[in-house]
Structure 1
Amino acid sequence: MEKDERARIRTGDPLAFGQLFDQYARSVYNHAFRLTGNWSTAEDVVALTFLEAWRLRAKVDLDGGSLRPWLLGIATNAARNTARAARRHEAAIARLPRDEIMPDFADELVGRIDDTERLAAARAALTTLRRSEREVFTLCVWAGLDYGGAAQALGIPVGTVRSRLARARKKLQKLTDAALSVKNREPQFGCGQVEGGRNTAARPTQEETR
């Protein structure tokens, strides 16, 4: 990103900020979904990310490259805050009298994530990682940031990014292979399923990495 564009964003130029949104909203959205596992929550995270970016616009350095790592760092924090708020809400709901069953978002999630067994197993395994490992993995592997970009997004040293990513990869490989191994040993039912009866899964759209 050129110095002039950064200066315009710092001064609150609506046109420059609109261009920033157009360029990176898709990337922020995909990153948010990978962290939260929920499309609706990801939309909320996108809104919170750009609201916070607007609030912090004066801190944008005049010199530098893409603002994508900066935005993904803000999105990561927004996802953390959203998750904490969701846990507080769930705890409050749990204290209420259980007169009726609360709806579960699991069916919506299963219908929307990528419809391959390995990715489904990897997505499930990802949720078992420590938050710090999960954040590094989503930034480096799925969002495509290099070690420096991920370090900038999370505010941690590059060496820490490397070590967390190595641990995350090793754990995910082991957990995914184990999950698929168990699945392959399970008896298969429903061989008479009507062709085309399965819902097509929605996938995150292709990201721009400029």
Structure 2
Amino acid sequence: MSEQNDETEIWSRARTDSGEAFAELFRRHRDSVFRRAAALVDRMQDADDATAIAFFELWRKRRSVVLVDGTVLPWLLVAVTNTARNQRRGSVRYRRLLAALPRSDARDAEQEALTAIETEVLGIRLREALSVLDPKDAALLTLTALDGLSVADAAPLVGLKAGAARTRLMRARRRLQDRLGRHPSHVTWSLSEGERA
């Protein structure tokens, strides 16, 4: 092993948290590690990711990694090979899963888009309606209907007794449904869930 390739001193500094020494190791070996990854995966982005993961693992395990013939390159090549193979297996599983999913026709896709838009509009209307309520009432509605807390559990969180919270919640629910007008059906079920004591 030539002195030029001997990384003992650099690795010693890197193991004691020298970012500068670790950067030097990265500069020395980045291309070799990337080439190994690129030979094992389909996309260059995956090779970039595998390279980054290998160097991250080297840094994370720096206290236990041992040089081979005075260099960390063999360790990095094994690490990037394992990472790239795992990525490839994951990619194959993902493609198989996508292929196995039932295909929806254009009508279903259109219906899904319309439902998504309606849900978004309803969310905007709900946020607007909640914004005009008393903050304690809005918090009660959120804690009971969205977070699933009982009235008894939500009441002390907003500084109320359970009985007062039930009364305020009932009134707030009515005000909210009035503000939502003709289209409260999506929200009514969620709000009634907050009835639990």
TM-score, length of structure 2 as denominator length? 0.46
TM-score, length of structure 1 as denominator length? 0.43
Report which structure shows greater RCO (CA 8 Å, sep ≥6): 1
Higher helix share: 2
